[in-house]
Amino acid sequence: MSQLTYIYNANIVTPSKVIENGSIVIDGETIIAIEEHSNHEIEGINANGSWVLPGLVDSHSDAIEMEMEPRPSSAFPIEVSFYELEKKLVGEGITTIYHSMSLYEENAQKWIRRNDTVLNAIKDIKRLAQGQHLIRHKTHLRYEITNVSAVKAVQELIEQKLIDQLSFMDHTPGQGQFRDMEVHKKLLIEHRRYTEEQANELINESKQLAKIEPAVLQQLAALATQYGIALASHDDDTVEKLVLVKSWNASISEFPIELEVARKAKELGLYVVMGAPNVLLGKSHSNNLSAMEAIEAGLVDILCSDYYPSSLLHTVFKLYHLGMPINQAVNMVSLNPARALNIDYEVGSIEVGKKADLLVISEMDQRPVLEKVLLNGQIVCEMKYHTPLLVNQ
């Protein structure tokens, strides 16, 4: 029999309520009991009245791209990027990550989004995830539908079970995320340092690109369903697009562009995903739908970190202090994404029978302070904060 681990004196956030001064009993990797009292005579982890949350499940994170290519032409090996990134992620409370790799085009200006780079990185992530690790690693392939030459490669990734989530993207200027072409041009000039002439040239070239036929996308979607891979649409801007992807067995709508599109996604039974950075900043960086507006309308199921991993935990506590029940806010970054991605049988909530992926979190001026992270019942990260000694003047 494995040794029991006991966490006590904790405010435990379950899917439906908060258990104050409760305790959790862990046998090996698994939660075997959740008690509404604490036995201080049993040796264990004293949460000291802090929150205990399930580990965060991040359904969409671009962080691996930035870790591999932090600057243009600065390409770091995956063996470095993978392990360095997971140290950052565990320190943000993320215990299950879906690394979002963008299969953009064969000769993408960003090395990290070129076909060969992405295909090799996905294989390497799967390989490295089988070895020593701090968190659970999954892969999310974001497939640009103008990348006509990569259809066979995507099919092979699905058949080889190398991806865990598939989304179809269309970044053609004039629709989707870039329906406002002036905003798109401004992004190219200010963020990617293009001249106005270069930005106009790229926009015009992008508008001329051929797209994969819908029938081919439908075949890839059907193959993903056959292999149990969750399918997501991306930057939905019309009801017609939603209806189409729903007919392909999509279960997730990422970043709907307008409130009415988000509402329709909910009506169709899709999980609606918005970015946690959008919540923290109070607006979309692309001048699209405000995540807070969608949350207030009751239209958001899942929050992902998108491009800023630390946003998940901070967003939970922002929503809580704005009046949302904390279990509801936590569900948006744990149980709901786990359900959408078909892993809720194992992770995503503090429930008997699930893996003991847990966070011990205190607060300082309403700011979450992560103290401990457990994965499979073992402490994998612990923060011990020091307060400077006061010196008499």
pLDDT digits (tens, 9 = 90+) for 328-339: 999 999 999 999
Number of H helices, E strands in the chain: 14, 16
CB 276 within 8 A of CB 333: yes
What confidence score (pLDDT) does residue 351 get?
98
- Examine the pLDDT at 25 and tell me if it is beyond 80: yes
Q: CA torsion 212→99→366→37, rounded to 10°?
A: 120
The string of DSSP codes covering 362-379 is EEETTEEEEEEEEETTEE
Nearest to 102 by CA among 92, 91, 113: 113
Helices (H), 142-252: 151-159, 181-190, 196-207, 214-226, 239-247
Q: What is the pLDDT of residues 97-145, one digit of tens each?
A: 999 999 988 666 778 889 999 999 999 999 999 999 999 999 999 999 9
CB 66 within 8 A of CB 109: no
How sure is the predictor about 195, in pLDDT bands with cuts at 50, 70 and 90?
Answer: confident
How sure is the predictor about 203, in pLDDT bands with cuts at 50, 70 and 90?
Answer: low
Domains of the chain: 4-53+351-382 (2.30.40.10), 56-172+209-340 (3.20.20.140)
Find the range with the poorest average confidence among 80-94, 114-128, 204-218, 347-361: 204-218
What confidence score (pLDDT) does residue 33 get?
96
Nearest to 25 by CA among 382, 380, 353, 326: 353
What confidence score (pLDDT) does residue 252 get?
97
- Examine the pLDDT at 260 and tell me if it is beyond 50: yes
Nearest to 351 by CA among 49, 22, 30, 6: 30
Average pLDDT, the chain: 90
Pick the more confident residue, 187 or 347: 347
Find the range with the poorest average confidence among 109-118, 254-263, 285-294, 322-331: 285-294
CA distance linking residue 244 with residue 170, whole number of Å: 14
Instruction: Give all strands (DSSP E) within 36-119, no chain letters.
Output: 45-46, 51-54, 56-61, 94-103
Tokens of 12: 């435990």
Helix (H, G, I), strand (E, B), or coil: what is residue 154?
helix
Q: Which residues are CB-neighbours of 141 under 8 A, at least 6 positions away?
A: 101, 103, 118, 122, 154, 157, 163, 165, 166, 167
The mean pLDDT value for 313-341 works out to 98
Strand bridging mode 252-254 / 230-234:
parallel
- Examine the pLDDT at 188 and tell me if it is beyond 80: no
CA distance linking residue 35 with residue 38, whole number of Å: 7
Please list the residues that pair with 233 across neighbouring strands.
168, 253
CA distance linking residue 267 with residue 285, whole number of Å: 26
Pick the more confident residue, 337 or 198: 337
Looking at the chain, the whole-number percentage of residues with pLDDT higher than 90 is: 75
Q: What is the pTM of this model?
A: 0.90
How sure is the predictor about 174, in pLDDT bands with cuts at 50, 70 and 90?
Answer: very low
Find the range with the poorest average confidence among 69-83, 107-121, 235-249: 107-121
